[in-house]
A and B are shown apart, each in its own frame.
Chain A
Amino acid sequence: MTMVVNPGKRDRLWRSVVIATPYLWLLLFFLVPFAIVLKISFADPLVAQPPFTAFFDWSADAGKRVLATLDNYRFLLEDKLYLVSYLKSIKIALISTGLCLLLGFPMAYAIALTPYPWRNLLLLLVILPFWTSFLLRVYAWMVMLGKQGLINNLLLSVGVIDEPLQMLYTDGAVYLGIVYTYVPFMILPLYATLEKLDLDLHEAAADLGARPLQVFRDVTLPLAMPGIIAGCLLVFIPALGEYVIPALLGGLDSLMIGRTLYDEFFVNRDWPLASAVAVVLLLILILPIMLFQRLQQEPEA
């Protein structure tokens, strides 16, 4: 659909402005930074400002000599800390995604089955937390889970336990925090597909002899698949790199890669190593991100 048949100079200018302004912005502030991260991940750390060696040595005697090193990546492989962090992040992200699906699917389904004026309200209730501060919502769980937190106090007063349980600063709290903050991201795309689901199809399957669970397996689930995939990616990808939740709710051993990267950068001030951590994280994520993009573009086509 070419809308401009024979554009004049002025019209072409407008077209260039529309395309070029955001394009250049994103090139400069989104794409180029990745190139820089990649570059610095091959540099050596220095106690200096900035704390890394240059990629090109511009000094006169050296000419144009490439000063690249694979030390950072070698270190990532050698030091167990990183491998453990990556694996643990993947494990936590996967399990929380599964939990989000388990909670989000029935919720989305129930919303999609609700008749109209009420449905909008239920949807609003899902979206509302999305607008309120993420940080404060994670913090709310500190109030709930702490040694002197609400849950412990409740259990103590009922007499189920004699001394407070360690709930805060554990992996369990991290799972809880991730499910809590990301479940709306699961519900919304699921709702979008389930809402379009034709109830006639369910009845047709039942009419042809499928029992309720078979109807779910044969009709509902396959037709909801695009929403399930989108929802899972929307939870998995950010959860994998999550920093705030493990930092606030996790224990010292809740080593998620986002937290490791953050600490490497701010505590150890090893920028090249942090960059290498980021590059590997991005490599892990590239497949799910591309899958997500494919999914986003499909409705357009």
Chain B
Amino acid sequence: MRRSSTFLYSLLCFGYAFLYLPILILMIYSFNDSRLATVWGGFSTRWYSALLDNSQILDAALLSLQIAVISATAATVLGTLAALGLNRMGRYRGRTLFTGMIAAPLVMPEVITGLSLLLLFVSLQELIGWPGTRGANTITIAHITFSMAYVAVIVQSRLASMDQSLEEAAMDLGGRPFAVTLDVTLPLIAPAMAAGWLLAFTLSLDDLVIASFTAGAGASTLPMVIFSKVKLGVTPEINALATIIIGIVTVGVLVAGWTMLRQQRQLANQQTRP
């Protein structure tokens, strides 16, 4: 027993080293003065200042943030509705198809999603003259579509674990369906919605392939700019950018995780108290 757990834990350590070492090294080298990726030329923040002067990257970052906020918000609304529709609305025709359409985007290869959405936009353009120019608008729609599925799955798992008698009690006390959703369901699934929003936000910030397909000539998101730079090789400015992004995300996730853990504990405490 003991021998096997030593084996397990050494593999676990190896796994974490494998997951984290490349990122750590990347972050360390972002402070390297030398342009050569791996020759240590002393500590420097020059790539950070170069980054601040690079308006192309900054513009792209701004655009990406804009798209991420809008698409995450819309995806949270749509995804939550979808989860309610699948979990709290009983049976109706087309429910099976609905379930399928929610689960499929989770595993659909990005190239297919990207290609199909672009072809949709092109066809719509021909048919009804919308969406005009492709750019932030089409990227946002694409991001909403695939990230709402993630939100729906997160909210759905919360709904499934939630005691339905709470909603039944609210109805018994005279709440109409809309009011019940607003007064009882939403407050209870709010943490799941927040988690869904965060996930949708990062998915949008992170997406390269779908954005590349659906963006017109004009719009370049941050991943698109990064990709075009790193395709040519290691770029010190990107190291600095990566460090900043990973730093922000890590802090964000840790804070969010910590808050959620605390809320869960409070909830658990309230529930265990007689």
Query: Does B115 lie within 8 Å of A278, measured CB to CB?
Result: yes
B44 surroundings in chain A (CB, below 8 A): none
Q: At the interface, is chain A mostly helix, strand, loop or mixed?
A: helix
With A25-B78, A132-B245, A150-B38 as known contacts, state yes or no: A33 contacts B117, CB within 8 Å. yes
With A1-B164, A106-B11, A125-B19 as known contacts, state yes or no: A22 contacts B148, CB within 8 Å. yes
Query: Does B22 lie within 8 Å of A18, measured CB to CB?
Result: no
Q: How distant is the Cα of A108 from the Cα of B191 in the complex, in angstroms? A: 26
Q: At the interface, is chain B mostly helix, strand, loop or mixed?
A: helix
A161 at the interface (CB under 8 A from B): no
Q: How distant is the Cα of A134 from the Cα of B253 in the complex, in angstroms? A: 15
B5 surroundings in chain A (CB, below 8 A): 110, 113
Segment at the B interface, from A60-68, A73-81, A221-229, A291-299: A291-299
Contact residues of A between 19 and 55, Cβ < 8 Å to B: 19, 21-23, 25-34, 36-37, 40, 50
Query: Does B12 lie within 8 Å of A106, measured CB to CB?
Result: yes
With A4-B177, A132-B249 as known contacts, state yes or no: A125 contacts B16, CB within 8 Å. yes
Closest to B102 in A: A26
A174 surroundings in chain B (CB, below 8 A): none
B226 at the interface (CB under 8 A from A): yes
Query: Does A238 lie within 8 Å of B109, measured CB to CB?
Result: yes
Within the complex, the shortest CB–CB distance from A287 to chain B, in Å, comes to 12
Partner of A110, one of B11, B38, B94, B116: B11
B273 at the interface (CB under 8 A from A): no
With A133-B205, A180-B19 as known contacts, state yes or no: A18 contacts B81, CB within 8 Å. yes
B1 surroundings in chain A (CB, below 8 A): 212
| 29 A-B residue pairings within 8 Å (CB atoms) | A1-B90, A3-B177, A4-B177, A10-B176, A19-B89, A22-B78, A26-B98, A26-B102, A26-B145, A26-B148, A37-B112, A37-B115, A40-B119, A103-B11, A107-B15, A125-B19, A128-B253, A131-B202, A131-B252, A131-B253, A136-B23, A139-B242, A140-B22, A142-B233, A150-B38, A180-B22, A241-B109, A244-B208, A281-B112
